[in-house]
Amino acid sequence: MYAKAVAALAALTVFALQGAAEQTRAPAQRTKQGTKVETFAKGLAFPWGMAFLPDGRLIVTERPGRMRLVAKDGKVSAPLGNVPHVAAGGQGGLLDVALSPDFATSRYVFISFAERRDGGAATTVARAKLVLDGDGGRLDGVEVIFRQQPAAVGAMHFGSRFAFAPDGNLFVTLGERYQRDRAQDLGTHYGKVVRIRPDGTVPPDNPLVGKTGALPEIWSWGHRNPQAAAIHPATGKLWTVEHGARGGDEVNIPLAGKNYGWPVITYGRDYSGLKIGEGTAKAGMEQPVYYWDPSIAPSGMAFYTGSLFPEWKGNLFVGALRGQALHRLVLDGERVAAEEVLLSDLGERIRDVRSGPDGALWLLTDNPEGRVLRLVPAE
């Protein structure tokens, strides 16, 4: 089951599609409880990813290639030391960050970044130990654990979100580097979700292990540019959101060994207006849970697990770059039942979304003077 949302001012009209032909209308929903947005920190250059440290501080990546700590009072630290050099430009640079599930003992943090190599660039994943020193710190023992193959010329579609599964394995989303057809090529990491162990080795139960001509890290394929990933708190399944072209942004639940269609099937069109692929459905290719047309340019997602907004429990929140808003998706199992568009009056590109330990929703804004925002109930 999937859905199609069509923009209309501040809220989207939602169509819940059941099967291949039946179409029913589901209502847009609005928050009963008022909200307010607080600026927690500012002065960050194109912040891309964030993670909450056990002591209450935030670690934030800046796309030009810096990592910073944000203190509990919102003070932003000097750049952390020993951050790897990144290929900063276009959509490339320092991207996501995540703490190891055993961070309290291992001190490992994971970062993804565009790495310049082999005459081009590609997404790389590294881990390092975070050493805190007063208001700042550094990365120690930086170790590359995964490199997207091959590198490509250009600065587009790196993907690059992390999600740690309940079994401790790490999902990494990878864009197709603006080379559409290679999203269907199992001999490359383009347009794939990969699943690796925290040390970069391949879990033996990955779906393509032992298959001739296929890279064993691959979990699913046929993706365009997934810049959002999260684990459903109840089911433990991976959910992703990816950019379409001109329309066709998708919410997916990537399953082992499944093909999600790009560029053979899509609900979008080329930027020129021309058709892409063969249509919207094909045997052997999965349908999205939900899609947007026109595009909102999604980046960052989180399932709300806090207590400040009880009515939002279990809702999925997706940031929008082109749409400059926060989208709240009301779920009925694995179906989107309704949608609400929030914060459209901010005029901000929302790059990342996290459900914070304090019950607030935390956001990053994508601009040269980026901010960390908290969405909390209005008094």
- pLDDT digits 0-9 by tens, 48-95: 999 999 999 999 999 999 999 999 999 999 999 999 999 999 999 999
Q: Which two tokens stand for residue 233?
A: 């708190």
Q: Which of residues 5 and 330 earns the better pLDDT score?
A: 330
DSSP lists the bridge partners of residue 250 as 242, 291
Q: Residue 127 belongs to what domain range?
A: 43-319
Q: What pLDDT is stored for residue 142 in this prediction? A: 98
User: Which carries the bigger pLDDT value, residue 245 or residue 1?
Assistant: 245
pTM: 0.92
| pLDDT reported for residue 185 | 98
Q: Please give the Cα distance from 60 to 161 (Å, whole number).
A: 14
Confidence of residue 15 (pLDDT cuts 50, 70, 90): very low
Q: Which of 1-10, 105-114, 136-145 shows the lowest per-residue confidence on average (mean pLDDT)?
A: 1-10
pLDDT tens-place string over residues 259-313? 999 999 999 999 999 999 999 999 999 999 999 999 999 999 999 999 999 999 9
In terms of phi and psi (left: phi > 0; alpha: psi -120 to 50; beta: otherwise), the region of 154 is left
Rounded CA-CA distance 23/18 in Å is 6
pLDDT tens-place string over residues 116-171? 999 999 999 999 999 999 889 999 999 999 999 999 999 999 999 999 999 999 99
CA distance linking residue 12 with residue 3, whole number of Å: 12
Any domain includes 92:
yes
% of the chain with per-residue pLDDT over 90 = 90
Plot region of 222 (φ>0 → left; ψ -120 to 50 → alpha; else → beta) = left
| CATH number of the domain enclosing 262 | 2.120.10.30
pLDDT at 379 over 80: no
Q: Which amino acid is at 59?
A: I
Residue 134 confidence (pLDDT): 84
Mean pLDDT of the chain: 92
Inside any domain, residue 70: yes
Residue 23 pLDDT more than 70?
A: no
Q: What pLDDT, on a 0 to 100 scale, did the predictor assign at position 286?
A: 98
* Inter-residue contact 302 to 353 (CB < 8 Å): yes
Predicted pLDDT at 28: 58
Q: DSSP characters for 152-179?
A: BSSS------EEE-TTS-EEEE---TT-
| Residue range 19-30: mean pLDDT, rounded | 38
Q: Is residue 348 part of a domain?
A: no
The answer to whether the beta carbons of residues 303 and 314 sit under 8 Å apart is yes
Higher pLDDT, 134 or 190: 190
pLDDT tier at 4, thresholds 50, 70, 90: very low
> Which active-site residues does the annotation give?
157
Question: How many domains would you assign to the chain?
Answer: 1
Residue 332 placed within a domain: no
